[in-house]
Amino acid sequence: MSIKINTSDLDNVIIKLEKDVKSIDYTEVAEASLLKIGSISRKNYLSGPRPQKLGVKTGRLRNSIGIGTDGIINIVKKQEGVKATIGTTVNYAPKHEFGYGIKARPFLKPALDDFKSKDLANTIKKFLKGIL
């Protein structure tokens, strides 16, 4: 018994897939990514334990990452792609992130690194499932 595979069928699938991938709204992918990065930051880097990570005194910084009145979340679609930003306007955030005058206890950069290593592929797959 044997099965023959016609490669032209595969070529047609690949052509369709390329068209479908181009139709993905990357602003939605960026928004989902930023929300996940904010969640990772709040959960893994702004909830202690001290002194390795920032703990919670008032919760203002933790509650401002990408959300709330102090939060920054910005997605801009440009010709060369999507630019996405997440952050906070809390004035003492850079001191902790970069260590200005104190020991740095970053919370955004490690959250981004975690997202890229653990969650980025799954986020993209989620959007690809909608077109397959």
Domains of the chain, residue spans:
9-129
Contact 55, 48 (CB under 8 A): yes
As a whole-number percent, the residues of the chain with pLDDT over 90 amount to 53
Query: How far apart are alpha carbons 28 and 63 in whole angstroms?
Result: 22
- The CA-atom distances, in angstroms, between 85 and each of 23, 61, 75, 112, 124 are 22, 17, 6, 11, 18
pTM across the whole model: 0.80
Instruction: Give ∠ CA 112-118-120 in degrees, rounded to 5.
Output: 70
Does residue 126 carry a pLDDT above 70? yes
Does residue 2 carry a pLDDT above 60? no
Query: How far apart are alpha carbons 132 and 128 in whole angstroms?
Result: 6
pLDDT of 38-67, one tens digit each? 999 999 999 989 888 998 999 999 999 988
